[in-house]
Amino acid sequence: MNEDRSKLLAQRWDDRAEGYDRYFVPRFAPWVATTTTTLLAHPLPPGPILVPCCGTFPELPAIAAAHPESEIVGIDISQGMLARARRRTTAHPRTRLLHGDALDIYSRWPGTAAAVISVFGLQQLPDPPTALAGWVSALRPGGVLSVTCWPDEPENDGPFALLDAVVNEVIPQTADDADWHLRLSDAVTSAGAEVEHDVPVAHPIIHPNAEAFWMAMTEGGRLRNLGMSHGETFVAQLRNRFLDRAPAGPWQHQPTARLIVARMPLGVSG
Ligand SMILES: C[S@@+](CC[C@H](N)C(=O)[O-])C[C@H]1O[C@@H](n2cnc3c(N)ncnc32)[C@H](O)[C@@H]1O
């Protein structure tokens, strides 16, 4: 990734780290559990377990419990997220954190990793199919990939959908590569692995109310960046539009992510 883009992205996540960890990490925990559970079912070859886009590293406890002897490496571009991840790694001496780009995984671990696990990082990368192929190529024969990402539209109804609608009305999205999600499975097989599961994964999330969701998005979500780029008045106007159309009281929804689990066949390296 070019250096300016990489710095900007890192800074955005530094700013959001506290809010994301406090509000979203507990609500996204069921997807972390679904993604890491796949590791319990698989014996792994030797080598490190890599966790690109680890953020504050909620994946760590389940991975360490399933594979206590393995080296586990969390990789993230944001020092702010890694500072919070450090609170989790102290309990796991075989774990280390690396400040770096998730796109560099293959060049650091070519065909040498036991597993690559990642939750909600892939969809943010500039070219997700190419990034995913790189992650597969880091696997040793017998190595396992377990990756969960958000599709462009995780729900038709609910706070994520309403937020998208309200934002898109005033900032029309440019369709950079609207079809990237159609190419993920091919990217995995082209890199040499066999897809074992490619499934939608929906879990319920509850927000105390629309206002609390909005606040969380301004502190730990994408609205924080919007405030910086478009100003607080603009965000206040968006907030009114959002709250006018949101239901009153606690708000439950069930967004759908995508889980891809694949294995590098024995006798093949990426
Ligand atoms: C939505 S958070 C998910 C974090 C964690 N996996 C979780 O489930 O809570 C996405 C993370 O990806 C990181 N990230 C985004 N682009 C990255 C890149 N190119 N290389 C490494 N990390 C990146 C961000 O800094 C952020 O911590």
> What is the per-residue pLDDT across 4-58, written as a single tens digit (0 to 9) for each?
778 888 998 999 999 999 999 999 999 999 999 987 777 899 999 999 999 999 9
What tokens appear for 94 in the block?
Answer: 């075989």
Q: Does residue 78 or residue 3 have the better pLDDT?
A: 78
Q: 116 near 138, Cβ under 8 Å?
A: yes
Q: Does residue 69 or residue 3 have the better pLDDT?
A: 69
Q: State the residue range of the domain holding 111.
A: 3-153+176-206+254-263
CA distances from 209 to 22, 25, 165 (A): 16, 18, 18
Q: Does 9 contact ligand 1 (Cβ within 6 A)?
A: yes
Q: What is the band of 3 on the pLDDT scale with cuts at 50, 70, 90? A: confident
Q: Does 103 contact ligand 1 (Cβ within 6 A)?
A: yes
Q: What is the band of 1 on the pLDDT scale with cuts at 50, 70, 90? A: low
Q: Average pLDDT of 237-247?
A: 96
Q: Does 17 contact ligand 1 (Cβ within 6 A)?
A: no
Quote the distance between the C-alpha of residue 255 and its chain's center.
14
DSSP character string of 35-61: HHHHHHT----SSPEEEET-TT-TTHH
Question: Has residue 239 been placed in a domain?
Answer: no
Q: Average pLDDT of 246-264?
A: 98
Report residue 157: phi and psi, to 5°: -145, 140
Q: Does 53 contact ligand 1 (Cβ within 6 A)?
A: yes
Question: Has residue 112 been placed in a domain?
Answer: yes
> What is the per-residue pLDDT across 125-184, written as a single tens digit (0 to 9) for each?
999 999 999 999 999 999 999 999 999 899 999 999 999 999 989 887 766 667 899 999
CATH code at 108?
3.40.50.150
For residue 52, which of 7, 86, 11, 103 has the smallest C-alpha distance? 103
In the chain, % of residues over pLDDT 90 = 81
Q: Does 221 contact ligand 1 (Cβ within 6 A)?
A: no
Q: Average pLDDT of 222-241?
A: 86
Question: Has residue 69 been placed in a domain?
Answer: yes
Distance CA 9, CA 27 (A): 23
Q: Does residue 171 or residue 95 have the better pLDDT?
A: 95
Write down the pLDDT at residue 155: 97
Write down the pLDDT at residue 103: 96
Q: 229 near 171, Cβ under 8 Å?
A: no
Which atom in ligand 1 lies closest to the alpha carbon of residue 55?
A: 27
pLDDT exceeds cutoff 70 at 268: no
Write down the pLDDT at residue 43: 86
Q: What is the band of 269 on the pLDDT scale with cuts at 50, 70, 90? A: very low
Question: Has residue 162 been placed in a domain?
Answer: no
Question: Has residue 127 been placed in a domain?
Answer: yes
CA distances from 242 to 161, 184, 214 (A): 11, 33, 8
Write down the pLDDT at residue 270: 47
pLDDT exceeds cutoff 70 at 264: yes
Q: How many domains does the chain have?
A: 1
**165 CA to centre of ligand 1 in angstroms:** 24
In the chain, % of residues over pLDDT 70 = 97
CA distances from 94 to 64, 65, 87, 89 (A): 9, 12, 14, 9
User: Taking the model in full, what pTM does it have?
Assistant: 0.95
Question: Has residue 110 been placed in a domain?
Answer: yes
Q: What is the band of 200 on the pLDDT scale with cuts at 50, 70, 90? A: very high
Question: Has residue 159 been placed in a domain?
Answer: no
Q: 220 near 18, Cβ under 8 Å?
A: yes
Q: Strand 251-253 vs strand 139-149: parallel, antiparallel, or unpaired?
A: unpaired
Question: Has residue 158 been placed in a domain?
Answer: no
Q: Does 122 contact ligand 1 (Cβ within 6 A)?
A: no
